Structures are given as structure tokens and as C-alpha cells.
Amino acid sequence: MEKMKPRIRSLDDLFTSGEIQSHSNKAASAVTQTADGIMFIPPQKIRTFPKHPFRLYDGERLDDLTESVKANGILIPAIVRKIEADEKGFEYEMLAGHNRQNAAVIAGLEVIPCIVKENITDEEAWIYVVETNVMQRSFTDMLPSEKAAVLALQYSKMFSQGKRNDIINELKQLESPDYIRKNSTCGNHFHKLKNRDKIGSEYSLTGRSVANYIRVNSLIAPLKTRLDNFEITLVASVELSYLSAEAQQYIENVLMKNDFKLDCEKASALRNCENKLTEDGVYEILSGERLRKTRAETPSPIKIKYRVYSKYFAPNTKTSEIERVIDEALALYFKKAEDETSA
């Protein structure tokens, strides 16, 4: 019986037979090139994009992808950029195709098909990295930290809308196998970056939501993972994002050693102690010890009944005036008590 092929769930899962497959399955230690301009590069010569913000396949999904690579080869070439050879032997940097590269290594492929971008800026490289992921997956299906990375990068001054539009058009063309034979390029137009409200409208988010995601993009990686795993809420994460990386690491250290819950109240308390946080101080807050002390030292709120204060104020007296008089009266009362004690 013919072996059933694994499910296809995104561009990274697409594969085909033909010229690309035959090249991919060949043993090779050097870079080769087809007449179409597709380069076949050993995956060991391609390094991961620095600070790649998207979670890669693992488990069953990576297994499915690997089986597809073994059976069919790779349909859509990865996109890489040429770099100066480094001390580890890397000559290229992956922009789009991290999962395909990992699956190819596991499957034993000696080379993978790539479109090589030369002399592109860091801005253009980031656009390839971000937009390929947005195109392959619904924005709503992304993890919170991934959404944060997308929005923060699009909001940053580094992104020009013109270049982004050109690269998006190129990536859409790549979805068609015919594009492989066309070898088209993208232009270099510049437009003013959208503000956060316009960016939000693109993803059905309010400007406030965009601002929150941009804030949490400054969290250290372990705290982003906790956000993605629903151990910390987005609101609590926003509070933590105002802390220094050192203070955030204190928090992670305490959470790793203890089974503490980090809710919004504790996150707010941590932020309020921003310039005085130590790991011991973080422990006091996350354990609830400091919050219990604060509550014990704070008088319980009371509500003065109308019949008590109404005999001293006219019916139309403003609340602010009543509060002012009561405050002054209490100050006089306690001063008199203090004077009598010291007499």
C-alpha cells in the first residue's frame, strides 16, 4: 500500500517533484545553480536569522514536514541573503524557510533550493522574515510574543511601507510555481510608516492593543515564553515590560525556582519598585509576603453614613468640599490628641 503523505498546513509544508526535488536529493558539498537562478546550498552553510522572533516547528509537525521532504523534495525555495563567511563556516543567512531547512537536515538532504538576495539592507531582511510568517499563518493564530514582534517591527522607523509592499508582492508571486522561472525582482519605493492606529486596523486591533503588544516585545525571551504559555497575562506583561532586563531576569530566576503565580497586582507592585528591585525583593512580591504586609499596614476602607455627616453640611455641598472639611477636622483631632499625650 502506498504510504499516505502528511498533511499540508502552510507554505513551509509545500513540496513537489521535478527539477527542484532532483537537485535537493543529490549529494553535494558545494553550491550549485539552475538555469532559473535557483541556488542549491548545503543547509550547513546557512545560519539562522539573528533574533528570529517566531517559534519553529517541533514534535509531530516537524516529523510530518520531514516525511514530506523525504518523499517529495521542496516546492518553494527558501529565501536567504549572502553574508561574509564567518568563523563557523556560514556563508548565507536564512530569511524565509527555517522550518524547511531543519526538516531537510533531519531528512538527510545535502542541499536545499534557495533564492539568494545580495546587497539587501537589514530593513529588507527583517521584512522578508516578518511578512513570510504573516502570509503563511493567520495573525490571529500567532502567539502573543510573535504578534508583538510583528507589530513592533512594523511600527519601528526601520520599516518603510514602500519596501514592505514590494516584498509582499514578491512573496505572493512565490506562491506560484511559475514564479520560479520568472526570476522577477522587487523595487525600492519609500513611503511613510503607518502609525499604530493604522497598523492596528490592518489586524483588527485598536491603537491601544498595538501599543500593548509593542511594549511586551521588550520582554526578555523567557518571560515571552511564559506569556505564550498563558502563565502571564498580556496586561501583566505590559507592566513587566517597563522593568530593566536585569530586573526581568530576577523575576525569571524566582519563577524558575518557585511555583508562584504572577498576576496583575504583583506585576504592578514589581513595576512600582522598578529602581529598587533585588532578587530577594522580587521573591517577597511574588510570594505575596510584601503584599500581605502592605494590606496589614493599611486601614480598612470605611463608608461614612449620610446621617452622620449630613447634620454638618448643607444638602447641596459638593463631595470634594465635604472631603476637605473631614480631612482638616481629622488633622486637628489627631494633633490635639498628640499635644495632650506630650503634655
The correct CATH number of 1-119 out of 3.40.50.2000, 3.40.50.1370, 3.30.420.40, 3.90.1530.30 is 3.90.1530.30
- Res 305: pLDDT: 84
| Cα distances (angstroms) measured from residue 65 to each of 19, 26, 74, 130, 195 | 20, 19, 10, 21, 38
- Res 181: pLDDT: 42
Q: Strand, helix or coil at 190?
A: coil
From CA 226, how far away is CA 267, in angstroms rounded? 14
Q: Strand, helix or coil at 4?
A: coil
- Res 271: pLDDT: 93
From CA 315, how far away is CA 88, in angstroms rounded? 82
- Res 298: pLDDT: 59
From CA 290, how far away is CA 282, in angstroms rounded? 9
- Res 32: pLDDT: 66
Per-residue pLDDT of the chain (343 residues; tens, 9 = 90+): 444 444 434 444 443 334 455 555 444 456 666 656 788 999 999 999 988 889 888 899 999 999 998 988 888 899 999 998 888 889 999 999 999 999 999 999 999 999 999 888 888 888 888 888 888 777 888 899 999 988 888 777 555 555 556 655 655 555 554 543 444 333 332 233 346 677 777 778 888 888 899 899 999 999 999 999 999 999 999 999 999 999 999 999 999 999 999 999 999 999 998 888 999 999 999 998 877 765 555 566 778 888 888 888 888 888 888 888 888 888 888 888 877 777 6
- Side by side, the strands of the sheet bearing 39-41 are 32-33, 39-41, 112-117, 78-82, 92-96, 46-47
